[in-house]
């Protein structure tokens, strides 16, 4: 009897160990085996092992993700810019002056050369003139309608169909291991909040982003917020570390970006005294997505590559590390 029980226990132990190994192997099925995938899994195992020296309690397991180019496609231009340009076209009949006024003239004429030269001031002007003058609820409804009807110029599918499947798996894997996941984006906070829960499983209060000012007012005895054409906060570059501190209150132990605008967020993570993971996604797959680095204004990754090498950050190759990029790939 004792021998039988011993064999049963041994068999159960083997089955349990096998199932754990299988679960770990299947945690990131859209990732190719390699140093990047191994580094992520090893990090998660280390910070969740309460017997190890790198253990991090659940309340401090914060992971932050940039959005554009990290969680979904950002080329040939950011989705929010595509939304803003569609808004310009839709609002143009009410603004005849836009026919001769830049940057609106370039949008209405489809002047790609002029559009490629737009600076931050131009983009801010477009956003302020197309995103303000309404309540947050009205803005959300407009964004939702656009997300359902707009199509990406290359892939001809909705922008929300262009989320990266490997990153969706990573988000789920981290949450299954006690992490709290946040988006920390240079994009508009209320724009991203519109689809974050549905696309990423990230709730609106877990989105940190750029914002325009709003004011509280009474209209016919009812309270509402009104979005104003004034910049409140730019959550990019150094602003990402500031935004994390203001909104989350704890530095992340894992941070994921794709551009030089994410460097400070990764440095903020890298500066932690305990275990940490800093990751840059490198767009190097022109066939399945895009290839770009120093040669673009949209998601420029130049300095970040060198820093990744110097500081031991993980540099994810979309071409080599991802078995598939989008869920609709066969």
pLDDT digits (tens, 9 = 90+) for 259-270: 999 999 999 997
Task: Decide: 164 and 321 in contact? Cβ < 8 Å.
Answer: no
pLDDT above 90: percentage of residues in the chain: 80
Over the stretch 57-68, which tens digit does the pLDDT of each residue have?
A: 999 999 999 999
**Residue 25, pLDDT score:** 53
**Residue 272, pLDDT score:** 67
pLDDT at 46 over 60: yes
Higher pLDDT, 14 or 114: 114
pLDDT at 10 over 80: no
**Residue 21, pLDDT score:** 42
Q: Considering the chain, what is the average pLDDT of its residues?
A: 90
Over the stretch 240-260, which tens digit does the pLDDT of each residue have?
A: 999 999 999 999 999 999 999
pLDDT at 330 over 60: yes
pLDDT at 198 over 80: yes
Confidence of residue 29 (pLDDT cuts 50, 70, 90): very high
Domains of the chain, each with CATH number or no CATH: 28-75+156-218+228-321 (3.40.50.1000)
**Residue 206, pLDDT score:** 98
Question: What CA–CA distance (Å, rounded) separates 319 from 128?
Answer: 37
pLDDT at 276 over 60: yes
Residue 200 CB neighbour total at 10 angstroms = 23
Taking phi over 0 as left and psi of -120 to 50 as alpha, with beta for the rest, 62 belongs to: beta
**Block residue for tokens 């500031």:** 242
- Over residues 24-37, mean pLDDT: 88
**Residue 49, pLDDT score:** 97
Token output for 313: 């950050």
pLDDT at 302 over 70: yes
Confidence of residue 125 (pLDDT cuts 50, 70, 90): confident
**Residue 18, pLDDT score:** 38
Over the stretch 135-182, which tens digit does the pLDDT of each residue have?
A: 999 999 999 999 999 999 999 999 999 999 999 999 999 999 999 999
3-state secondary structure of 290: coil
């Amino acid at each position: 009897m004792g021998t039988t029980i011993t064999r049963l226990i041994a068999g159960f132990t083997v089955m349990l160990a096998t199932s754990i190994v299988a679960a770990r192997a299947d945690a990131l099925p859209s990732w190719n085996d390699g140093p990047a995938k191994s580094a992520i899994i090893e990090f998660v195992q280390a910070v969740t092992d309460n017997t190890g020296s790198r253990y991090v309690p659940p309340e401090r397991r914060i992971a932050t993700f940039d959005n554009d180019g990290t969680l979904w496609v950002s080329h040939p231009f950011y989705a929010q810019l595509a939304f803003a340009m569609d808004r310009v076209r839709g609002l143009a009949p009410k603004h005849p002056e836009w026919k001769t006024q830049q940057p609106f003239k370039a949008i209405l004429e489809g002047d790609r050369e002029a559009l490629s030269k737009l600076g931050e001031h131009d983009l801010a002007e477009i956003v302020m003139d197309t995103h303000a003058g309404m309540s947050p609820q009205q803005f959300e409804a407009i964004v939702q309608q656009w997300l359902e009807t707009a199509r990406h110029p290359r892939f001809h599918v909705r922008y929300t169909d262009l989320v990266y499947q490997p990153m969706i798996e990573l988000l789920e894997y981290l949450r299954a291991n006690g992490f709290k996941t946040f988006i920390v984006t240079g994009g508009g906070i209320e724009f991203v909040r519109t689809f974050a829960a549905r696309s990423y499983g990230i709730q609106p209060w877990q989105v940190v982003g750029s914002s325009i000012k709003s004011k509280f007012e009474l209209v016919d005895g009812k309270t509402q917020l009104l979005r104003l054409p004034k910049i409140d906060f730019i959550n990019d570059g150094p602003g990402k570390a500031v935004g994390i501190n203001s909104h989350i209150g704890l530095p992340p132990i894992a941070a994921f970006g794709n551009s030089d605008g994410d460097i400070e967020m990764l440095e903020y993570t890298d500066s932690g005294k305990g275990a940490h993971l800093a990751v840059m996604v490198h767009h190097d797959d022109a066939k399945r997505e895009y290839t770009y680095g120093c040669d673009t204004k949209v998601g420029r990754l130049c300095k970040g590559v060198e820093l990744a090498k110097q500081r031991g950050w993980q540099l994810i190759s979309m071409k080599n590390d991802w078995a598939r990029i989008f869920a609709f790939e066969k």
